[in-house]
Structure 1
Amino acid sequence: MNSIYVLVLGTAQDGGFPQVGCFKKCCKYIDKPRLVSSIAIVNKENNSCWLIDVTPDFKQQIELIKSFLSINFMPKINGIFLTHAHIGHYIGLVNLGTEVLNVKNVPVYAMPRMKFFLENNAPFSFLIKSNNIIVNKIVDGYLELLDSVFIKSFLVPHRNELSETVGYNIKSKYKSVIYIPDIDDWKLWENDILNVVRDNNIIFIDGTFYSSNELGHRDILKIPHPIITDSMKIFSVLDKKDAKKIFFTHLNHTNPILNKNSKERQFVLSEGYNILNDNQVFEI
C-alpha cells in the first residue's frame, strides 16, 4: 500500500476566504471558508510531512495534517519549500520560533533572493540565528525526499519585488504533480503549459481571478494573474483526459467560482476542469 500523499492545505489567495475588510456578497454569503494556498507531501508511514509554503493559516493547516494522519501530536516537518515572498506564502514561518513551536533545524528551501530576504529581515533572520530553521538554496534538478519521491523547482514569471517565484514538480514512481499557485501569464513562461499538462498527472495552477472585471476599483494589471477564462481558452485544445488533470487554486475572495451555485463555477466544471478544495487528498 502506498503511504505518500499530497494533502491540500489551502486554496485561497494570500488574504484567505473570506478576506478581512470585505463586506460584499462574495465574503458575506459563503459556502465554506478556505485557507491560504499551500500543499503538503505527507508520509503516513512515519507521520511526517514536507510543506510547500507556510501561510498565515499555519495553525489550522497543521490540524488538517494531524486529522489526515489520525494523530493527536505534532507531525514532524521534514522540510519546507517556498515559492516566493508574497505574504501568504512564507509568513507562517514565524510559528517555528521561540514564541510558538520552537523547533530546531527545520530545513527551508528557497531561491537565492528569497534566501537573502529571510537572512536579512527580522523576524526570519532571528529564526535562523536561533537555529529554528536552516535556509538552503534550492538546488538544480530533483531533490530526493525519500525513496523514489523527488521534488524540483522551476522559475515562473511573477511580480518579483522581493524574491524570485517558483513552482514545483513532485514526482514519485507512480505520479507527477505540478504546483503553480502564482504566475503572471502563461505566455510569458518559457515552458509551454500545454506540454506541462500533457506530460504530468496532476496540475494545480493559478486560478486567482475568473475575469478581469471582478476587482472593481483596483487595476488588475497591477496584480497580474492568468484569468481563468483566458486559461480555459488556452487549454481548449487539450484532450478531455488532459483537461481533467487541471485543478484551479489560489482563488481570490472575489472569484465567483467559490460560490457553489454560480454559473461561472458550473461553466468551469462543465468544461472538464476541476476546482481544488481544502483538505483534498491525492495519492502519489
Structure 2
Amino acid sequence: MDTSGMQITFLGTGTSSGVPMICCDCEVCRSENLKDKRLRSSILIESATTTVVIDTTPDFRQQMLRINNKKLDAVVYTHAHKDHIAGLDDVRAYNFFQKKPMQLYADALTQNGLKREFDYAFSDHKYPGVPELEMHTIEKNKTFITGDIAFLPVEAWHYLLPVKAFRIGNFAYLTDVNKIEDDQLELLKGTETLVVTALRKQKHISHFTLSEAVALAETLEVKQAYFTHISHQLGLHEAVENELPPHMHLAYDGLQLQIN
C-alpha cells in the first residue's frame, strides 16, 4: 500500500488515569507545559480518502472537538480495556451527520468486551438514537483494509491479555504492550516510524518502561520512534525528552506526523 501523504495525529498520549491525575500534586501534574497534559491514548490516521481512529477513549468526544474533526470512516481497536473503548457511544454524531453506520474493527475478544459495555447498541431491539455500528473481525496476522488504508495486525501481550498492535506501511502503533513474541516481532521489521508505549521508568507488570521502549526501537532499527501511553510517573516532558536519542521523542497531545 502507498502511504504517501498519510498523516498521524496524536489525540491522546496519557495512560488510563490521564495526566494530570485526579488528586495528584506532583510536579508533572502541576506543570503548566501543555505537553505535560495528556488525554487517554489514541491516534487519528488520515489518508487521501480515509479517516480512522485507533481506540475510542473516555476522552473521545473532547479529542475530536479539540481538532475540529468532521469525518470518521472507521474505528480500529487494540483491546477492550475501559480507557480504550469508553468513548464509543459518541460516534452517534458521525452516524447523524454522515448518514451511515460506523465501521468497527476488533478481534473476537475485544468484540465481546464492546458488546458487554455497550449492549444497548448491539441489541436486536435498539432504542432510538443508539450508535449505529457495523462490526468486522480482526484475525491474527491477516491484513484488513478500510477505505484505502491497509492494517496488518500484530499480536502482543499486555501482561496476560493478548492485544493488537498495527503496522500500516512503514508505520507501526503499539500501545499497552509489555511483551512481543519473536514471530510477531518479525512482522515489525522494516518499520521506519514506531509509536510504542513507555509508561514510566520503573518496571511495570503490563507496560514497557521507557528503557524497554527505547530497546525495542533500537532492535527494529527504526528511523524515528515516539513514545506514548505515558504516566505522570515518567517525569516532565521536557526533561525526559532531553534524555532521549535524537531520533526518539515523547509524543504529546496534538502532535502530527507525516508518513511518506
User: What TM-score do you get using the length of structure 1 for normalisation?
Assistant: 0.75
| 1:35 Cα deviation after fit | 1.8
What does the per-residue CA deviation read over 1:132-169, in whole Å, with 9 as the maximum and x for residues that have no partner?
2122211452222334x3112121011456xx411011
Residue 274 of structure 1, CA deviation: 1.6
1:105 counterpart letter in structure 2: P
Q: Which of residues 208, 226, 233 in structure 1 aligns to 2:208?
A: 226
> Separation in 2 of the partners of 1:135 and 1:237?
35
Which residue does the alignment assign to 1:70?
A: none
In 2 relative to 1, CA 109–255 (structure 1 residues): closer, same or farther, beyond 3 Å?
A: same
Aligned equivalent of 1:6, options 5, 8, 13: 8
Q: 1:132 to 1:21 in 2, by over 3 A?
A: farther
Q: Does 1:280 align with 2:255?
A: yes
Show the counterpart of 1:201.
192
Q: What is the RMSD of the two structures over their aligned residues, measured on CA atoms?
A: 2.6
Question: Residue deviations 1:189-223, cap 9 Å, x none?
Answer: 23475x666511110011111233xxxxxxx44xx
Q: How many residues align?
A: 244
Matched, 1:145 2:141: no
Question: Taking structure 1 as reference, are residues 125 and 208 closer, same or farther at Cα in structure 2, changes over 3 Å only?
Answer: same
Residue 145 of structure 2 aligns to which amino acid in structure 1?
E
Equivalent in 6, 23, 26 of residue 25 of structure 2: 23
SS at match of 1:178: strand
Q: Which residue does 1:190 correspond to in 2?
A: 182
Tell me the SS of whatever aligns to 1:28.
coil
Structure 1 equivalent of residue 202 of structure 2: 211
Distance 1:282 1:234 in 2: 20
* 1:102 Cα deviation after fit: 5.5
1:60 to 56, 59, 62: 62
Does the 8 Å contact 2:193/2:222 carry over to 1?
Answer: no
User: What is aligned with 2:38?
Assistant: 34
Is 1:197–1:203's contact at 8 Å kept on the other side of the alignment?
no
Moved more, 108-117 or 134-143: 134-143
Conserved? CA contact 1:158–1:183, under 8 Å: yes
Q: 1:101 to 1:126 in 2, by over 3 A?
A: farther
Give a deviation string over 1:43-90, Cα, whole Å, max 9, x none.
4x55x5111001111122213443xxxxxxx52221100101222111
SS at match of 1:199: coil
- Tell me which stretches of 4 or more aligned residues in structure 1 moved more than 6 Å: none
Unaligned runs of 5+ in 2: none
Q: Which runs of 5+ in 1 are unaligned?
A: 67-73, 213-219
Distance in 2 between residues matched to 1:180 and 1:237, nearest whole Å: 15
CA contact (8 A) 1:158 1:184 kept: yes
CA distance, structure 1, for counterparts of residue 53 and residue 90 of structure 2? 14
TM-score under structure 2 normalisation? 0.81
- Please list the CA deviations of residues 16-61 of structure 1 after superposition, one character each: whole Å capped at 9, or x if unmatched: 1111222222212241112211111114x55x51110011111222
Look up the match of 1:49: 51
